[in-house]
Chains A and B, each alone.
Chain A
Amino acid sequence: MAQDLVIYAVVHQPRRLNLPAQPIPKGAAPKDIERCLFDERLNEEYFHKVATYCYYPATEMFLELADRGLKFSIGFSFSVLRQAESWDRKLFDFFRQLAAHPNVELVNVEPYHSFLPLLDLPMFAKRMSWSRDNLEKVLGKRPEVTDTTEMLMSDAIYHALDGLGFSGAFLDGRPWVMEWRESTHLYHKGKDMMLLARHYQLSDDVGYRFSNKGWWGYPLLADTYAHWLREAWGDFVVLAWDYETFGEHHSRDTGIFEFMRCLPDELSKRQIVTLTPSEAIAKYREQSFYLPLPAFPCTWAGEGGMDFFLGNPAQQAVFQLMLQAYNKALLTKNPKLIDLALWLIQSDNLHVIQWFDRSGSDAEVSAYFTPKEWWELGPSGIIWEMQQVYKNFIQTLDEYL
């Protein structure tokens, strides 16, 4: 029965594309191209909304929990930090305060939440290294454990990260990856870097199902949940969520904050100890197990495979455009254009069109993340205009070649 608990939450906001696509003037400078590609007004609007409903109350809650002795870990994408720094300095400082807390471990993430781990591993490694340095500079702690983008992990990604000297990384403990193994142990793939496997069922009980009135477990109370955690077989449970789970995915009136505030006492009653990821790695390193990682990347999104991002023709088309945009930008050797291409390969751009040609809960989640302002274009219009953004960018690179 699991005695220890590792909690991880990742804070991220996408840099939404400018739809309908703004035509890019011929010969435009990178800063004007950037203005055409991204809808910063929309991004700011969403940022303030999420800050109000989630970031402020959730950070307040997590700080309170940390003060009460709960240990957990947190990751910030550069995408969200940039927005906080630009549009809400007070919140940015609040995030820093949270990251600085002794009971909080800072986790590295792919800075732009991009598909680099799928597209270009050497560049991915470079960017992860940059992110680590940047987080240390901005938030004052150097991450030792890392996440990627949407918790992408594969054999190749593992080796890229191991080469950077991280002590551990997260992956989603899906059955097709774990096979007969439990996610409640520490793993490795033959190198120094350890693997923390997210318990996807217990995580999703909170992350997805908490406010679902049709779920048999509804309403989920802290004592029940602590009991389930205690009942899990193994050494420790890894829970990982979007930070936006608290107040955004599940609004305040669902009771999500009260649930979290009650959780530490219920954990204590059952002698469950919270550990930071590094503490868990230190504690269980000697009894870690070999995990053969798949060549196909796994993710915490959808059913755990890349079909969540590449499962429909619209996503496949945009992904091809991402490849073209990124590689053509590399040909220019212009750092500003390469940077724009990195933003364009942000995973959210495929996340928000997963609903195309699909139905079911994953499609509902995807549609929820699609900006409501885009729906005026209609489903086909969204896909068309999104592709147009990439085509415009690809075309405009001619001026730099």
Chain B
Amino acid sequence: MRQRKITPENTEFVILSFEGPDRYSLAGGLGVRVDNLSETLAEMGFRTHLFFIGDPKFKGEQVRYRGNLVLHRWCQWISKYYPNGVYDGEEAKLHDFTESLPYSVKDRVAKPAVAKGKLVVILGEEWHTAEAMCRLSDLLHSDGLRDKVVMFWNANNIFSFHRINWGRLNYATTITTVSRYMKHIMWRMGLNPLVIPNGIPKELLRKVDDGAADEVRQALDTDLILCKVARWDPDKRWNGAVEAVARLKERGLKTVLLARGGVEPHGQEVLHNARSLGLTVREARMKPGSSDGYLTALQEAASADIIDVRFHIPLDFLQVLYRAADGVLANSGHEPFGIVGLEAMAAGGIAFTGCTGEDYAIPFVNSFMLETADPMEIVSYMMYLQDYPEEAARIRKAARRTARYFTWEAAVQNLISKLENQARIQGTLGGQRRLAEPQFAVSKLPPELLATTLKRHY
């Protein structure tokens, strides 16, 4: 008898996360992740509930995607006192989230779904949801529902790992993470998480307008363009990027770094460092009321070595910048997954990634992987690309091909396969309880990765 699969008819999804799709709830990659994940599930036809710290001014509950996606804005009664976003009043929100949410998920979602004979999949994101997931598991158990529910808890980062009761969480849920790098970190803690990579929206795979990319290049009128989008954080190795610009300049290559940081104070340190290396820094700001002035804003700052981009860059223009740049510096020292590198690859950009969580990156095949914090590594690769432009063209093509395997649709398929396996282990997806067999989805690997894998092993 063939084993049953997870389908929209037999399964309902619940996602618990602090961040979410509201502007109030977006602080970093987590909000984008749960937004994309929940939308992809809903588009695939799964009824999906997303519980998150929502904007207090919006409705507590909102239905989207023809009823498939239900947004549950939690802690609004607290958020109204904390206008500065999802992490403002974090402890107060965390307490209420942990105390109240498990009962609601159990009574309002899990019970009715199980009553309809459905499997319920609950996905918890990040440390904020760890205790709530444990309590929810206990509640479901006490109501005789736990074996009808599959619970995955995902670590997107190592933030506040010290606040998690790992023994309890590991018992109550199946722990997952976003890369093999994270898996190795967690191995050292006695955990063995499943790896379910992040994804990018498939819209990012649309061909980027080369004409627009040329306009950027013309506007900046320089030998080399580097681009870096990241929080101002030492982990992101901003100083290495700035130093690389200085070294390239020393070699007679006029280089512009498009730097889009956050609001963090480390930015001042980085820019001070740039100036002390003899680089010029200028801010690029949008004129109020200007709708298509991104290019103009960059052009006005083009004489500088470092352009400190002080406006929000919409995704489509960001894709243009990635495409236009000679290198996109996603050179973090610690990156659980590294979505920026993948986004740059989707745009046909040349990503310079670190060598931690970027499982999608294959050095010299679809990107450059920086093994050290030495800026000379960036410099030498840039010089190499100057000498071999055909290599740059090949890498850009390979990068786009690889990105196709990391869309949210692919990530969700991966997730569902692992959920199905877990559901079979629990005996919740029909059939008898049985031991899981390892799954090797070799055919789903990109050809570049497949070739490398086979070479290594045979």
**A-side interface residues toward B, CB under 8 Å?**
18, 20-28, 32, 35-36, 39, 41
Asked if A25 and B78 sit within 8 Å, CB to CB, the answer is yes
22 A–B pairs (Cβ distance < 8 Å), ordered by A:
A20-B95, A21-B95, A22-B92, A22-B95, A22-B96, A22-B99, A23-B91, A23-B92, A24-B92, A25-B78, A25-B81, A25-B82, A25-B89, A25-B92, A26-B81, A28-B81, A32-B78, A32-B81, A36-B92, A41-B99, A41-B100, A41-B103
A-side contacts of B78, CB under 8 Å: 25, 32
Please report the C-alpha to C-alpha distance between residue A21 and residue B92 in the assembled complex, in whole angstroms: 9
Number of inter-chain CB pairs below 8 Å: 29
Q: Would you list which residues of chain B between 59 and 82 have a CB under 8 Å from chain A?
A: 77-78, 81-82
Please report the C-alpha to C-alpha distance between residue A20 and residue B99 in the assembled complex, in whole angstroms: 9
Q: Smallest Cβ distance from B352 to chain A, in angstroms?
A: 43
A-side contacts of B95, CB under 8 Å: 20-23
Q: Smallest Cβ distance from A205 to chain B, in angstroms?
A: 37
B-side contacts of A28, CB under 8 Å: 81
Please report the C-alpha to C-alpha distance between residue A24 and residue B96 in the assembled complex, in whole angstroms: 11
A-side contacts of B96, CB under 8 Å: 22
**B-side interface residues toward A, CB under 8 Å?**
77-78, 81-82, 89, 91-92, 95-96, 99-100, 103
A-side contacts of B81, CB under 8 Å: 25-28, 32
> Would A35 and B92 be within 8 Å (CB), given that A41-B100, A41-B103 are in contact?
no
Q: A23-B89, A25-B89 are in contact. List 6 more A-B contacts (CB 8 A).
A: A22-B92, A23-B92, A28-B81, A32-B78, A41-B99, A41-B100
Q: Smallest Cβ distance from B270 to chain A, in angstroms?
A: 33
Asked if A35 and B99 sit within 8 Å, CB to CB, the answer is no
Q: Smallest Cβ distance from A260 to chain B, in angstroms?
A: 33
Q: Smallest Cβ distance from A108 to chain B, in angstroms?
A: 35
Counting from the closest, the 7 A-B pairs by CB-CB distance are: A25-B81, A23-B92, A22-B95, A23-B91, A25-B78, A25-B92, A27-B81
A-side contacts of B103, CB under 8 Å: 41
Please report the C-alpha to C-alpha distance between residue A337 and residue B100 in the assembled complex, in whole angstroms: 24
Interface centre among A18, A20, A25 (most CB of B within 10 A): A25
In the complex, the chain B residue whose C-beta lies closest to that of A41 is B103
A-side contacts of B91, CB under 8 Å: 23
In the complex, the chain B residue whose C-beta lies closest to that of A32 is B77
B-side contacts of A35, CB under 8 Å: 77
A-side contacts of B92, CB under 8 Å: 22-25, 36
Please report the C-alpha to C-alpha distance between residue A32 and residue B76 in the assembled complex, in whole angstroms: 11
In the complex, the chain A residue whose C-beta lies closest to that of B94 is A23
A-side contacts of B77, CB under 8 Å: 32, 35
Please report the C-alpha to C-alpha distance between residue A23 and residue B98 in the assembled complex, in whole angstroms: 13
Please report the C-alpha to C-alpha distance between residue A20 and residue B91 in the assembled complex, in whole angstroms: 12
B-side contacts of A27, CB under 8 Å: 81
Q: Smallest Cβ distance from B99 to chain A, in angstroms?
A: 7
Please report the C-alpha to C-alpha distance between residue A32 and residue B82 in the assembled complex, in whole angstroms: 13
Please report the C-alpha to C-alpha distance between residue A41 and residue B106 in the assembled complex, in whole angstroms: 14
In the complex, the chain B residue whose C-beta lies closest to that of A45 is B103
B-side contacts of A39, CB under 8 Å: 99
Please report the C-alpha to C-alpha distance between residue A250 and residue B348 in the assembled complex, in whole angstroms: 75
In the complex, the chain A residue whose C-beta lies closest to that of B82 is A25
Please report the C-alpha to C-alpha distance between residue A49 and residue B103 in the assembled complex, in whole angstroms: 17
Q: Smallest Cβ distance from A87 to chain B, in angstroms?
A: 15
Q: Smallest Cβ distance from B128 to chain A, in angstroms?
A: 14
A-side contacts of B99, CB under 8 Å: 18, 22, 39, 41
B-side contacts of A32, CB under 8 Å: 77-78, 81
In the complex, the chain A residue whose C-beta lies closest to that of B89 is A25
B-side contacts of A23, CB under 8 Å: 89, 91-92, 95
B-side contacts of A26, CB under 8 Å: 81
Please report the C-alpha to C-alpha distance between residue A39 and residue B78 in the assembled complex, in whole angstroms: 16
In the complex, the chain A residue whose C-beta lies closest to that of B95 is A22
In the complex, the chain A residue whose C-beta lies closest to that of B103 is A41
A-side contacts of B100, CB under 8 Å: 41
A-side contacts of B89, CB under 8 Å: 23, 25
In the complex, the chain A residue whose C-beta lies closest to that of B98 is A20
Q: Smallest Cβ distance from A68 to chain B, in angstroms?
A: 41
Q: Smallest Cβ distance from B69 to chain A, in angstroms?
A: 27
B-side contacts of A20, CB under 8 Å: 95
B-side contacts of A24, CB under 8 Å: 92
Please report the C-alpha to C-alpha distance between residue A35 and residue B75 in the assembled complex, in whole angstroms: 12
Please report the C-alpha to C-alpha distance between residue A26 and residue B89 in the assembled complex, in whole angstroms: 9
B-side contacts of A21, CB under 8 Å: 95
B-side contacts of A25, CB under 8 Å: 78, 81-82, 89, 92
In the complex, the chain A residue whose C-beta lies closest to that of B88 is A25
Interface centre among A20, A22, A27 (most CB of B within 10 A): A22
Q: Smallest Cβ distance from A281 to chain B, in angstroms?
A: 48
Q: Smallest Cβ distance from A361 to chain B, in angstroms?
A: 31
In the complex, the chain B residue whose C-beta lies closest to that of A19 is B99
Please report the C-alpha to C-alpha distance between residue A27 and residue B89 in the assembled complex, in whole angstroms: 12
In the complex, the chain B residue whose C-beta lies closest to that of A27 is B81
B-side contacts of A18, CB under 8 Å: 99
In the complex, the chain A residue whose C-beta lies closest to that of B77 is A32
Q: Smallest Cβ distance from A342 to chain B, in angstroms?
A: 23
Please report the C-alpha to C-alpha distance between residue A25 and residue B96 in the assembled complex, in whole angstroms: 12
Please report the C-alpha to C-alpha distance between residue A56 and residue B103 in the assembled complex, in whole angstroms: 26
A-side contacts of B82, CB under 8 Å: 25
B-side contacts of A36, CB under 8 Å: 92
Please report the C-alpha to C-alpha distance between residue A163 and residue B265 in the assembled complex, in whole angstroms: 67
Please report the C-alpha to C-alpha distance between residue A32 and residue B75 in the assembled complex, in whole angstroms: 11
